[in-house]
């Protein structure tokens, strides 16, 4: 009698609709997948030399638009900075001097990206250091996110093929240091 009852219970349970459980487990699994990919993305760290540089569009303070994809065939020096960043001030004049050094060649583009900065302060900064190469705000911090920056200043040198050739996570200390980085990329 007892055995008959025991046999009947699983049969009754099996007949019950299990859609709720299936849905709950599917939802939980989907959530775990999302968390997994989120963590994977967070763990990626900085870009490595030799990787293709993520594309970006920069609208400068004077309204010009620069798309990295359109700059193929040129070496791009992209510097992320902020007016409130003291180390950025250290390299500002050197970057401008390096830009003036390469400008006549026409195959080197310097782009300044103001990160989490206010326009007023950014423009004051550019005036203060007499910076003439194109600079613009990082709208929506999209460039910073694409390059997974850790702070400012950071400088990325991208070769003619759009591949990352050099990364600097601290300020340049002299014009010569910048030239020593850009020249080999030009000769590639």
* Residue 31 interacts with another protein (CB under 8 A): yes or no: yes
Answer for which of 142, 150, 173, 184 binds another protein (CB under 8 A) is 142
The two structure tokens encoding residue 155: 């400088």
* Residue 43 interacts with another protein (CB under 8 A): yes or no: no
* Residue 4 interacts with another protein (CB under 8 A): yes or no: no
CB of 181 to another protein, least distance (A): 26
Closest-CA residue to 157 (of 188, 182, 123, 177)? 182
Distance in angstroms (rounded) separating the CA atoms of residues 34 and 18: 25
Burial (CB count within 10 angstroms: exposed 0-12, middle 13-18, buried 19+), residue 157? buried
Cα first-last separation, the chain = 87
* Footprint (CB under 8 A) of another protein, residues 110-129: 116-118, 120-121
Q: Reduce the DSSP state of residue 60 to 3 states and report it.
A: coil
How many CB atoms are closer than 10 A to CB 5?
Answer: 8
* Residue 137 interacts with another protein (CB under 8 A): yes or no: yes
* Residue 6 interacts with another protein (CB under 8 A): yes or no: yes
Site for another protein (CB under 8 A): how many residues? 24
* Residue 33 interacts with another protein (CB under 8 A): yes or no: no
Please give the residue ranges that form the binding site for another protein (CB under 8 A): 1-2, 5-6, 9, 24, 27, 31, 34, 82-84, 116-118, 120-121, 137, 139-142, 144-145
């Amino acid at each position: 009698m007892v055995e008959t009852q025991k046999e009947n219970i699983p049969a009754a349970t099996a007949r019950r609709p299990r859609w709720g459980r299936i849905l709950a487990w599917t939802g939980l699994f989907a959530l775990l997948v999302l968390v997994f990919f989120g963590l994977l993305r967070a763990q990626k760290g900085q870009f490595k030399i030799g990787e293709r540089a993520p594309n970006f569009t920069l609208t400068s303070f004077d309204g010009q638009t620069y798309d990295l994809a359109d700059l193929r065939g040129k070496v791009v020096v992209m510097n992320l900075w902020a007016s409130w960043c003291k180390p950025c001030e250290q390299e500002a004049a050197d970057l401008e001097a390096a830009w003036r050094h390469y400008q006549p060649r026409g195959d080197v583009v310097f782009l300044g990206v103001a990160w989490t900065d206010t326009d007023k302060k950014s423009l004051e900064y550019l005036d203060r250091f007499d910076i003439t190469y194109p600079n613009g705000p990082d709208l929506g911090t999209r460039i910073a996110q694409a390059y997974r920056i850790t702070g400012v200043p950071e400088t990325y040198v991208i070769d003619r093929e759009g591949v990352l050739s050099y990364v600097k996570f601290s300020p340049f200390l002299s014009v010569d240091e910048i030239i020593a980085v850009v020249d080999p990329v030009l000769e590639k």
